[in-house]
Amino acid sequence: LDKLNTVNRCYMWRILFDHVKMGSLKIDDFWQVLLAKFRAETNEEVVLLLLDKIHWLLHSGFIDADLMTTEEVAQNGAKLGPFVSGILLEKVFDPSTHSSLKTQ
């Protein structure tokens, strides 16, 4: 993913997310890739896309569809909560990392 341009990187994340929704990619595997790659992401479009996908997974009831055990949900939630909070603070609310807010 690191070597792809923005358009292709967004496309690959969408494909991975679609595979999670179809059940051909485990949520835990998706989280592992997300946790490994998301913090280093510098492109706003990709960050917003990933936050949207995280939001969908957390609020759609998808995780409650017996795809993960209660223990797995708790483990992923424990990892994801602080992770998303940190990303929001670092990437979304920090004007120095938000290119549309940077002065020229």
**54-80 pLDDT tens trace:** 878 777 765 544 445 555 555 555 555
- Mean pLDDT, rounded, for 80-100: 55
Token duo for residue 57: 């997974």
Residue 23 is predicted with a pLDDT of 85
Mind giving me the DSSP string for 16-35?
HHHHHHHTSS-HHHHHHHHH
- Mean pLDDT, rounded, for 37-51: 85
Residue 74 falls inside a structural domain: yes
Residue 17 falls inside a structural domain: yes
User: Which whole-number Å values give the CA distances from 6 to 3, 24, 49, 52, 94, in the listed order?
Assistant: 9, 25, 11, 16, 21
- What is the domain count for the chain? 1
pTM score, whole prediction: 0.60
State which residues form the domain around 24. Answer: 6-99
Q: Tens digits of per-residue pLDDT, 8-34? A: 999 999 999 999 888 898 887 887 888
62-82 as b/e: b if 16+ CB within 10 A:
ebeeeebeeeeeeebeeebee
Q: Mean pLDDT lowest for which of 4-13, 31-40, 78-87, 88-97?
A: 88-97
Residue 9 is predicted with a pLDDT of 93
